[in-house]
Amino acid sequence: MSVTVLLLLLTLCAQGGYGEEKEEAQRPGHVSVVIVGGTGDLAKKYLWQGFFHLYVNQVSSGNTFSFYGGGLSPADTATPLLFEILKAVSCSKDISQERCALLKEQFLRLSQYRQLKTLEDYQDLAKHIEKQLQEEGMTEAGRLFYLSVPAFAYADIADKINGSCRPTSGAWLRVVLEKPFGHDLRSAQVLASQLVSSLKDEEMYRIDHYLGKQVVAKILPFRAENKKFLDPIWNKHHIERVEIVLKETLDVKGRIPFYDQYGVIRDVLQNHLTEVMTLLTMRLPMNLSSNEEVTQNKLRVISSILPLGKNQAVIGQYQAYKSEVQQELNKTKDHNTLTPTFAAVLAHIDEAQYEGVPILLISGKMLDERVGYARILFKNDIFCLQSHNSVHCKPKQIVFYFGHGSLKYPAILVSKNLFKPVLADGEWKEVTEHADVSVLGLPVSDYYVQTPTKEREAYAELISHIFAGRKNSFISTENLLASWDLWTPLLNGLSSSFPRIYPGGADNGDMLDIRLKGKDISYNSEVVIINPDQMGGTSANGFQVMQGKFRSDDMVSAWAEELVERLAADMQEVAEAAVRESGVFHLALSGGSTPLALFHRLALHHFSFPWRDTHVWMVDERCVPLSELESNFYTLHNHLLQHVRIPYFNIHPMPVHLNHRLCVEEDGGAQLYEKEVSSLVNGSSFHFVLLGVGYDSHTASLFPGTKVDELGERLVALTESPDKPHQRMSLTFNAINRAQRVALLVMGKGKHEVITQLSRVKDNPVKWPVTGVKPANGKLVWYLDYDALLG
Ligand code: BG6
């Protein structure tokens, strides 16, 4: 009788193990578990323990197991290392010593080290598994590969598994991957497409160990179980703020080659904290165990988070970090690093339910304490005149406490002035004996406290889900890319920002305290420079703005952020003057990506802009339906119009889609728009026209080669672009040059060349269309950022 069969018999006789997971039905049989990177840190700390837990849980299930620790080192050196690790696995308290010894012995006998370097090594492993199956007459249930290796090795290993280690038909293949899943959106897309060429989506299990933490995994069930209490208050009218916080006391010594390339946002915020945020704010699925519904609802909420810009983040770096980097990366004393080890980010969800609710995501190394939690702080509209200690005067909050900190155990806490949460199953219990500690401003005794009946380690939990094929505790490709899509612009924006240096530990004092102002976040102790003398009557940052002449018109130049601030302020000034004089402000806006920063600025900072009296017109439009991504109107709507209170009837999209067709001359769309302009805009003279300049010097949709004369007195015309979509509708020079103020906004190094050319050429609108912009009675101002101006 073979070892495996003997062990199966032995274990069938053994009494129940710990953990009582409800596994989904799957064909029992033999399971081969391969941990690639089986002697590495993660495997040593969590994975082998997790697989031992799985083994203990499954011994009586009818499945048999083989465990392989794989690695690049040859077997003779790595085998003793592996067995050292295996010997350290432990049983839970409810298992007797004898039984534990027996189980460990079995586990060790079922485990072996294999060198997994070349394709032949993987082929040999496959042959070995097949031979064992044959010899012992076992049916194969599945193969589980856990890749605990650096991400750059994933694609190659996945390819080898696909090429040589697929299981026999009817059995499953599951490949588990650890973060980092990319470095930004592009690299995540590349990695995802490489993996997809070897593995099917359902075969990939991307781990975020936070989803295995008991409190995190309980968020959705808790929301469902307490729906009747939460439904009325889970919205902007009641929630004051959401905080998702992971504070750590340790530094990153020993991990610097990895960490210095990633930093805290990529290491923790993009994954762990984003996952918690989505669980808290996603629409509650009808069926919590439907992977598809959970994924779709998560996706929806991630994509409705307002764009994160530099004003939505503050970053820090602990003081000793720089010298640790110099040491670990073998750099000289003048080597600098901007990698943040602390970040606080302020997010907002663009959905009516959460409109205006600040969501804070905060994490850092070398802070004063180790604690992780998500707190939903509710508004308290009761004013207590005298008895501040009455329960109704205290903070109303729900805290999902991941662990550590003053409480020291994972728990869900609901302040007693909210409601008494439901205890739905035996896996959680109410804590009634409280230590004398406070949690986020309230003594524990002021909360209803629930904690898991049995604490389980996140990796062990997730390993049992992988084995059961439960996919909704893992990161789907779509969610991963949506999350990178959210974080990448912020990461790019911060890439050359200087983090605030903090000493570490309790000495940080109030240095990292933050302040929320509207949609912006800043350090509380930031020095604010307000010196009207320096500003020359302009914005607070006026001293950073340079004024001069460009092509004999006025020019304002600054770094992009200040430039946009200045343009937005100028626009508001013109708008207010127009409304004062004529009761209305007519604004014509261009498309493209350059104005986005301006739109965000207007939406997030200019609450007193006279939107009610503003009419918004389009400078130009692409001939695509207005609901398509490529449409200028669609972009304008998404980034500006939907965020401001402008009456719908003041919005004037261009009629590019008439009679179910796009920009057909006979449909007369251009004439229609022209008529609308002439009848609503006094003398067809817009108060403000915002233009940009293309690499070929086109402006509006007036491209090189456009016969300016042929357009004659027309205000609006159909034009042709060399780029797709070729057909456009555009204001003509005639319309633009009637305007009272024209702003030409040009930003980015990519535009330096065209700006240099434009600084030298004479007016020639056919060759250099933008040189045709010459307001007859109005004023033209160029807004050039330093990158465009100086290169
Ligand atoms: C890891 C990060 O994913 O999560 C670490 O790489 C961080 O930097 C850790 O310390 C936090 O996890 P936990 O379970 O200790 O809260």
Please give the helix or strand (H or E) that residue 554 lies within, else none: strand 553-558
Specify the length of the chain in residues.
791
| Token pair of 304 as six digits | 């409705």
Indicate which atom in ligand 1 lies nearest the CA of residue 458: 14
Q: Does the reported pTM lie above 0.85? A: no
Among 244, 248, 457, which is best to mutate for testing ligand 1, by the most ligand atoms less than 8 A from CB? 248
What pLDDT is attached to residue 650? Answer: 97
Distances (CA, A) of 367 to 249, 441, 508, 597, 625: 5, 19, 7, 34, 52
545: left (phi over 0), alpha (psi -120 to 50) or beta: beta
Name the residue at shortest CA distance from atom 6 of ligand 1.
267
Active site positions, annotated: 272
Indicate which atom in ligand 1 lies nearest the CA of residue 403: 16
401 alpha carbon to ligand 1 midpoint, in Å?
15
44 alpha carbon to ligand 1 midpoint, in Å?
16
Indicate which atom in ligand 1 lies nearest the CA of residue 271: 3
Indicate which atom in ligand 1 lies nearest the CA of residue 402: 16
- Binding-site residues, ligand 1, Cβ < 6 A: 246, 248, 267-268, 372
Separation between Cα atoms, residue 783 and residue 457, nearest integer Å: 56
Write the single-letter amino acid at 780.
Answer: L
670 alpha carbon to ligand 1 midpoint, in Å?
58
Q: Residue 376's beta-bridge partner residues? A: 242, 398
What pLDDT is attached to residue 526? Answer: 52
Task: Choose among 578, 573, 595, 770: nearest CA to 685.
Answer: 578
Spell out the alpha helix ranges (H) of 59-153.
75-87, 97-109, 119-135
Indicate which atom in ligand 1 lies nearest the CA of residue 246: 16
Give residues with Cβ within 8 angstroms of 445, minimum separation 6: 434
What pLDDT is attached to residue 469? Answer: 92
Note the maximum CA span of the chain.
100
163 alpha carbon to ligand 1 midpoint, in Å?
34
268 alpha carbon to ligand 1 midpoint, in Å?
7
What interhelical angle do 274-281 and 477-494 show, nearest 10? 120
363 alpha carbon to ligand 1 midpoint, in Å?
10
Spell out the alpha helix ranges (H) of 645-751.
669-680, 708-711, 733-736
Query: Strands (DSSP E) along 26-119, which ranges?
Result: 30-36, 64-71, 111-115
Name the residue at shortest CA distance from atom 8 of ligand 1.
267
In the predicted model, residues of the chain with pLDDT beneath 50 are 1-24, 527-543
Among 181, 268, 276, 459, which is best to mutate for testing ligand 1, by the most ligand atoms less than 8 A from CB? 268
Separation between Cα atoms, residue 717 and residue 732, nearest integer Å: 7
Indicate which atom in ligand 1 lies nearest the CA of residue 255: 8
208 alpha carbon to ligand 1 midpoint, in Å?
10
Name the residue at shortest CA distance from atom 10 of ligand 1.
248
771 alpha carbon to ligand 1 midpoint, in Å?
56
371 alpha carbon to ligand 1 midpoint, in Å?
11
Query: Strands (DSSP E) along 562-611, which ranges?
Result: 585-589
Separation between Cα atoms, residue 534 and residue 313, nearest integer Å: 27
Indicate which atom in ligand 1 lies nearest the CA of residue 213: 14
Classify burial at 60, counting beta carbons within 10 Å of its beta carbon; exposed 0-12, middle 13-18, buried 19 or more: middle
Q: Residue 399's beta-bridge partner residues? A: 375, 413
Separation between Cα atoms, residue 516 and residue 369, nearest integer Å: 23
Name the residue at shortest CA distance from atom 9 of ligand 1.
268
Name the residue at shortest CA distance from atom 15 of ligand 1.
248
